[in-house]
């Protein structure tokens, strides 16, 4: 019990201490180097600027949220389904997987430019860019989970004369869930990054741009504290997405999941 309390105290206390040191360095840099607020705004100045811009920033955050969530959900569904097909068919896996890896090698900035060219500016482009960046970790992790089932368990299903569909439904898919959530956790942060990157290219859709678009606007106006506020909101959105994935993981797996069994997940 004492150990548990110590562990919890450390997991809250240590980030608080490091956060304090970080802010101290921040203030020290600002005032010792005599920087202006448009070079390095203080956290208070960022908060004040964010509060003044709360309406456009809230609208932009909501737009980014919709773009990220659409891309993320699409990536989760298509990625997981594709990983099942790849696990089920060695022909598909050998034929298609190298191209999925190649797709991941293309820098998202380059992909974004092409997507905007094809789909025009707006939410569809932003969600597509978020989808592209989130897709690979979901496919890679769930494919790993689907193919990591211990041989003895697969053989047991063969002995029980389970069909291929039953093998996937009752064995491979449940076994792969911890790995899928590892992929979803990575994809959650990437979807926000993809969405913001997309908005920088395609965010201005009839005045309802997301946070990426707002960052560009504030930068062009030299509203640096506002730009920092928008950047922090991107970070906050990423935390919310990851928090959602972790909560869902806990809800679905906490009763049976044992880290010592699924070492990779």
Partner 1 sequence: MLCPPKITISHLSKRFAMGVDVLRDLNITIQSGEFISFLGPSGCGKSTLLRLLANLEKPTEGTITFDNNPQLNELAFLFQESTLLPWLTVSGNISMPLRLRKVPREERTLIAEKLADLVGLKHALDYYPRQLSGGMKMRASLARSLSLNPQLLLLDEPFGALDAISRNRLNEELHAIHYAEKWTAILVTHSIQEAVFLSDRVILLDSQPGRIHKIIPVDLPDERPRSIRESNQYQHIVAEINASLSEIPIQI
> Which one of the spans 4-12, 31-39, 149-157, 225-233 is the region binding partner 1 (CB under 8 A)?
149-157
Which contacts (CB < 8 Å, 24+ apart) does range 207-213 have? 208/59, 208/63, 209/60, 209/63, 210/60, 210/61, 210/63, 210/64, 210/67, 210/126, 211/57, 211/60, 211/61, 211/63, 211/64, 211/237, 212/64, 213/60
Residue number with CB closer to partner 1 (95 or 150): 150
36: contact with partner 1 by CB under 8 A: no
Is-contact 189 238, C-beta < 8 A?
A: yes
The C-alpha atoms of residue 82 and residue 84 are separated, in whole angstroms, by 5
- Which residue from 26, 62, 97, 257 is in contact with partner 1, where contact means CB under 8 A? 257
Number of separate helices (H) and strands (E) present in the chain: 11, 0
> Which one of the spans 62-70, 108-116, 230-238, 254-262 is the region binding partner 1 (CB under 8 A)?
254-262
Residue number with CB closer to partner 1 (149 or 184): 149
Distance separating the N- and C-terminal Cα atoms of the chain = 27
6: contact with partner 1 by CB under 8 A: no
Residue number with CB closer to partner 1 (3 or 161): 161
3: contact with partner 1 by CB under 8 A: no
Residue number with CB closer to partner 1 (184 or 196): 184
174: contact with partner 1 by CB under 8 A: yes
Residue number with CB closer to partner 1 (94 or 170): 170
153: contact with partner 1 by CB under 8 A: yes
Phi, psi of 55, rounded to the nearest 5 degrees: -70, -55
170: contact with partner 1 by CB under 8 A: yes
Binding site for partner 1 (CB under 8 A): 150, 152-153, 155-162, 166, 170-171, 174-175, 177, 253, 255-258, 261
């Amino acid at each position: 019990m004492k150990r548990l309390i110590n562990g919890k105290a450390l997991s809250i206390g240590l980030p608080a201490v490091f956060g304090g040191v970080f802010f101290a360095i921040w203030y020290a840099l600002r005032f010792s180097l005599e920087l202006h607020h448009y070079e390095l705004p203080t956290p208070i100045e960022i908060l004040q600027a964010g509060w003044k811009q709360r309406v456009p920033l809230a609208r932009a955050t909501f737009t980014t949220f919709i773009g990220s969530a659409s891309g993320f959900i699409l990536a989760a569904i298509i990625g997981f389904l594709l990983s099942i097909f790849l696990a089920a068919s060695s022909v598909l896996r050998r034929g298609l997987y190298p191209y999925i890896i190649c797709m991941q090698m293309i820098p998202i900035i380059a992909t974004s430019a092409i997507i905007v060219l094809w789909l025009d500016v707006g939410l569809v482009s932003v969600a597509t860019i978020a989808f592209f960046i989130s897709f690979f970790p979901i496919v890679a992790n769930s494919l790993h989970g689907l193919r990591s089932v211990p041989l003895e368990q697969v053989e047991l299903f063969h002995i029980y004369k389970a069909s291929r569909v039953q093998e996937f439904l009752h064995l491979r898919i449940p076994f792969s869930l911890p790995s899928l959530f590892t992929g979803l956790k990575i994809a959650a942060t990437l979807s926000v990054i993809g969405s913001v990157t997309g908005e920088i290219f395609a965010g201005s859709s009839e005045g309802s741009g997301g946070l990426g678009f707002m960052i560009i606007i504030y930068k062009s106006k030299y509203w640096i504290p506002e730009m920092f506020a928008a950047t922090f909101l991107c970070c906050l959105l990423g935390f919310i997405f990851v928090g959602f994935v972790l909560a869902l993981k806990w809800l679905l797996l906490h009763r049976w999941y044992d880290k010592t069994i699924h070492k990779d997940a």
